[in-house]
Amino acid sequence: MPHFQFHLDHTDANSMARVGRWDTPHGTVETPAFMPVGTRGSVKGVWPHQLQEVGAQMILANTYHLALRPGEKVVKELGGLHRFMNWNGPILTDSGGFQIFSLTELRQLDNDKVVFKSHVDGSLLELTPARAMQIQEDLGADCIMCLDECPPHDAPVSRLEEAVDRTTRWAQLCRDSHQREDQALFGIVQGATNPKLRERSAQGLLPLEFPGYAVGGLSVGEAPEEMYSTLDVTTPMLPVNKPRYLMGVGRPIDIIEGVLRGIDLFDCVMPTRNARNATAFTSQGKIKMRNLKHQTDTGPLDPECDCPTCTDYSRGFMRHLFTVGEMLGPMLLSVHNLAFYQKVVRELKTAIMANAGMEYRAEFLARTSGGK
């Protein structure tokens, strides 16, 4: 694909972690990369230029939410997702599969389509692989996803196997109907935490030669160790020279563990959602901003952080904002939490270049009380 080039600069001598650059039509993403999530076309509480300021290079938007409101045709009329959101860097959209299987009431599911009730107004909607492609082409992200089926992680094996096979079939149909050459279409490996099913999924998708592969169906309720061991068997099956994206993950420690296992791209609502719930990620671990102990603390949230929030605001002021329910509290903390995620990824890159990815994890765990 002329629009997309993935270069690996270095692979850690002591882990599968790698540092690379991914060229897209809207700029280069340095990997590993964490993508802030703009579910409905906005990363909650943050101006797009602030995402850039804290170092985000690529962001994610959700197909399901945008297809419902305002509708992909409206986004298209408003100039496509980049113009719509005022984000001129690379964007990734998911397929909507995850939301359909987690947010909606299913009415019908077969090899051709899924029929479900909108969580907004209860209307009956249908999604097919071809329609998932049409929506994502109208939205116009740089990187788009095949429609996948996401059963509960603890579903019976027969059910998980069915979902893997349907995901493979749908991937073929997506690839066949996808037109835009300025979009990279990724296949999604499913199979929950079952190594055999992960292998079955990867073997079904690899012949389709997608320009990148996502790992789906993780961080959906299984224990972190199960996620890590699933990655241990899954990423080695994926092409070395293509970007690998772990969907919807996760805590900072999960990102570190994912990178050490060869993952390049991540997305998660956690930095912004936790910010709205008054939880800060810091170089010393998590902090609850409503705690009385911050009341007269004139120090910054995180002395190791140089984001606008830590530069200009005291813990005491931030505690006050959350106590009285001022919007500025979530706004300040979202910027900081996103800056923190970007900093972790930057530090990790530096460590990998020195073949010290494993040491970085140990150091991170030591200073953040086990990454909690």
Amino acid at residue number 68: L
What is the CA angle 75-81-86, rounded to 5? 115
Task: Give the residue with the Cβ less far from a copy of itself, 266 or 313.
Answer: 313
* Contact between 40 and a copy of itself per CB under 8 A: yes
DSSP 18-86: EEEEEEETTEEEEESEEEPB-TTSS-TT--HHHHHHTT---EEE-HHHHHHTT-HHHHHHTTHHHHHHT
Angstrom distance (rounded) from CA 57 to CA 267 = 12
Any known ligand binding at 336? yes
* 95 marked ligand binding residue: yes
Among 289, 321, 339, 351, binds a copy of itself (CB under 8 A): 321
Nearest to 185 by CA among 236, 252, 247, 133: 133
CA angle 40, 43, 45 (to 5 degrees): 115
Query: Which range binds a copy of itself by CB under 8 A, 184-192, 262-270, 311-319, 358-366?
Result: 311-319
* CB of residue 25 to a copy of itself, shortest distance in Å: 20
By CB under 8 A, is residue 328 in contact with a copy of itself? yes
Tell whether residue 330 is a contact of a copy of itself (CB under 8 A): yes
Please tell me whether residue 298 binds a copy of itself under the rule CB under 8 A: yes
- Cβ atoms of 114 and 108 closer than 8 Å: yes
Q: Residue 98 annotated as binding?
A: yes
- Does 290 bind a copy of itself (CB under 8 A)? Our answer is no
Q: Which one of residues 279, 326, 346, 347 is an interface residue with a copy of itself (CB under 8 A)?
A: 326
Residue 331 as a binder of a copy of itself (CB under 8 A): the answer is yes
DSSP category for residue 356? -
- Residue 273 interacts with a copy of itself (CB under 8 A): yes or no: no
Out of 323, 347, 358, 365, the only residue in the binding site for a copy of itself (CB under 8 A) is 323
Nearer to a copy of itself (CB atom), residue 306 or residue 312: 312
217 is in an annotated binding site: yes
- Considering the rule CB under 8 A, would residue 245 count as an interface residue with a copy of itself? no
Distance from C-alpha of 315 to C-alpha of 289, rounded to nearest angstrom = 8
Rounded Cα gap, residues 345 and 361, in angstroms: 11
Q: Which is nearer to a copy of itself, 223 or 324 (CB)?
A: 324
The residues carrying an active-site annotation are 94, 267
User: Residue 13 — φ and ψ, nearest 5°?
Assistant: -70, -20
Annotated binding site: 94-98, 148, 190, 217, 305, 307, 310, 336
